[in-house]
Amino acid sequence: MITILAFVCLISSILFWQEISEKGKNLMPLGNETYKFTWTQEQQDIVQGILVLELTYFQSLDRLHFTVKINDDEFNPHDYLGMTFDKNGNGVIDLGDSDEPYGLWANNMTAPAALTDKGLVFAEVMPKKGPHICKFDSAGYTFEVSFSKSELNLTKNSTLLRICFGDKDVAYGKIGVVCTDDIIIKGQWQQIIKIKNDITRYLAKKGERLYRITYFAKTNGGWYLELYTTKNINTHPYSREPTFYGHIIEISDKGEILKDEVVYTGHEMIIPIPKK
> What counts of helices (H) and strands (E) characterise the chain?
2, 20
Task: State how many domains the chain has.
Answer: 2
Q: Which domain holds residue 213?
A: 189-266
Does residue 139 sit in the same domain as residue 208? no
- Read off the pLDDT band of 234 (50, 70, 90): low
Burial of 265 (0-12, 13-18, 19+ CB in 10 A): exposed
State percent of the chain over pLDDT 70.
Answer: 84
pLDDT of residue 270: 82
Q: Is 47 inside a domain boundary?
A: yes
Q: Model confidence at 235, in pLDDT bands (50, 70, 90)?
A: very low
Domain assignment present for 85: yes
- Decide if pLDDT at 177 tops 90: yes
**pLDDT above 60: residue 60:** yes
- The confidence band for 233, taking pLDDT boundaries of 50, 70 and 90, is low
pLDDT at 238: 47
Task: State whether 101 and 19 are in the same domain.
Answer: yes
Answer yes or no: is pLDDT of 25 > 70.
no
Q: 128 and 15, same structural domain?
A: yes
- Check pLDDT > 90 for residue 216: no
Please report, for the domain that includes residue 72, its CATH number: 2.60.40
- The residue-averaged pLDDT of 240-249 equals 86
CA distance 79 to 207: 53
- In this prediction, residues 271-276 reach a mean pLDDT of 76
End position of a domain, from candidates 170, 186, 202: 186
* 86 and 214 inside one domain: no
* 76 and 106 both lie in a single domain: yes
The residue with greater pLDDT, 72 or 2, is 72
Are 230 and 245 contacting, i.e. CB atoms less than 8 angstroms apart? yes
pLDDT-derived band at 237, boundaries 50, 70, 90: very low
* Whether pLDDT at 6 is above 70: no
Higher pLDDT, 23 or 187: 187
Phi, psi angle pair for 185, to nearest 5°? -95, 120
Same domain (yes/no): 124, 228? no
- Domain presence at residue 275: no
Same domain, 132 and 235: no
> Is the pLDDT assigned to residue 140 strictly greater than 60?
yes
Higher pLDDT among residues 4 and 269, named by residue: 269
28 and 140 in a single domain? The answer is yes
Is 276 a domain residue? no
181 and 198 in a single domain? The answer is: no
Which of 123, 157, 186 delimits the end of a domain? 186
pLDDT at position 267 is: 85
Please report whether residue 274 resides in a domain.
Answer: no
CB-count exposure of residue 98 (10 Å: 0-12, 13-18, 19+): middle
pLDDT the model gives residue 126: 92
Least confident among 68-72, 86-90, 191-195, 226-230? 191-195
Same domain for 43 and 174: yes
207 within some domain = yes
On whether residue 273 sits in a domain, the answer given is no
Percent composition of the chain: helix, strand, coil (DSSP 3-state, to 5)? 10, 45, 45
Asked whether residue 219 carries a pLDDT value surpassing 60, the answer given is yes
Last residue of a domain, one of 124, 159, 186: 186
228 falls within a domain: yes
pLDDT at 232 over 70: no
pLDDT level of residue 23 (50, 70, 90 thresholds): low
Mean pLDDT of the chain: 83
Residue 20 above 70 pLDDT? no
Do residue 140 and residue 239 come from a single domain?
Answer: no
Assess whether pLDDT exceeds 50 at residue 5.
no
Cα separation, 247 vs 260, in Å, equals 7
Q: Are residues 109 and 193 in the same domain?
A: no
Which range is least confidently modeled, 19-28, 211-220, 251-260? Answer: 19-28
